[in-house]
């Protein structure tokens, strides 16, 4: 019977937590990149690498980066060859 609901003593001091500032000036998530964000937190170049599986969503390289990078370079070379022809 002597129990009361736990409420703050000064309800005027209780405020909603403030939101973090907008990430409008945020750059690319890739490690060491200073370009502006274009899509999904990456610049255009790193977005392609993210979609190809070279880097994680956090911007870190994947464990088999070297193997995938060779495939990525061959893919880009094929794309350039198609544009020239």
Question: So where are the chain's domains?
Answer: 27-85
Q: Which residues of 65-85 are buried (b: 16+ CB within 10 A; e: fewer)?
A: eeebeeebeeeeeeeeeeeee
Q: What is the pLDDT of residues 27-78, one digit of tens each?
A: 898 888 899 998 889 999 999 999 999 999 998 999 999 999 999 999 999 9
Selected residue with higher pLDDT from 10 and 59: 59
Q: What is the pLDDT of residues 15-36, one digit of tens each?
A: 655 544 444 457 898 888 899 9
């Amino acid at each position: 019977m002597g129990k009361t609901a736990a409420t703050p003593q000064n309800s005027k001091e209780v405020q909603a937590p403030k939101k973090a500032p907008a990430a409008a000036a945020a750059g690319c998530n890739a490690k060491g990149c200073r370009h502006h964000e274009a899509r999904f937190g990456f610049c255009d170049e790193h977005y392609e690498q993210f979609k190809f599986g070279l880097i994680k969503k956090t911007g870190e390289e994947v464990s088999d980066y070297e193997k995938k990078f060779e495939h990525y370079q061959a893919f880009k070379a094929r794309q350039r060859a198609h544009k020239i022809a």
